[in-house]
Amino acid sequence: MNFNPAQQNAHGILSEAAMRISRELVRKGAAAFFNPDYYQRWRDWCHNFISERLANTYGSHALEQNSEQRWIWQILPEYANLCHNLPFVTLAMLRIQQEQPSDLVIVQPIGSDYIAAALGSGCHTHNSRARVSKLREPSSAMLYAGEGLPGMQRNFGSPLLEIAMVANGELDAACWDQLSGFLCLAAKLMLSESGGMASNKKGDPLSADRTRDSLLIANPGLHARLAPLVDN
């Protein structure tokens, strides 16, 4: 895919960080990350690395919480997956402009997969356009992730990857009782750019001023059928 300049910068930063982590996983094995101090040391390194690179590229204002244009990021939140030697771990960066998510890049250190979304330009994974599934019947045999949905459940231990899988049509829907504001905004951007719909469980729009919220994501037809089932 052709990254826009903001995505190119984010992808370059995350790819370099992911490469360092991947080399460490190969050198010492995932077991090294079982140690909470060692795990936190790598999270701190990533935080400092991303902060420095962003400040050099955009200026220190890009890191300020109240800036009209700022970057926020999430670093290896899937500690339980590392402890169980599962490959579902992520690095992600999200740009907020005028309180709306505008650019997102997610990279997996293990496998080097990525997905990127830009406001008005679509959601892409590698060289393919990401699109939500077309299935609209909740009673059909289908994959669900997260909490609060009927039917077959799949939990990968990484809400960010599960959101990306819904955006890419690999899962039909997902629902959580409570996620961070970062994840809700990432879902809002990815789903809007892949033809889907994201809201909280009450059907309210997702907002940048909420630190936590529930989340329901699916294609618009399926979202409308599921909303009454999860709003209880």
Q: Given the DSSP bridges, would you call strands 143-146 and 69-75 parallel, antiparallel or unpaired?
A: unpaired
CA geometry: angle 171, 162, 174, nearest 5 deg: 60
Tell me which of 70-74, 77-81, 158-162 is least confident: 77-81
Question: What percent of the chain shows pLDDT beyond 90?
Answer: 38
| 0.85 exceeded by pTM | yes
User: Collapsing DSSP states into helix, strand and coil, what is residue 52?
Assistant: helix
| Average confidence (pLDDT) over 194-216 | 89
Q: Which CATH architecture has domain 5-129?
A: 2-Layer Sandwich (3.30)
Domain edges within the chain: 5-129, 143-230
Query: What pairs with residue 93 in β-bridges?
Result: 73, 105
Q: What pLDDT does residue 141 have?
A: 35
Class of domain 143-230: alpha beta
Q: Where are the alpha helices (DSSP H) in 29-138?
A: 36-58, 79-83
CA distance 115 to 84: 24
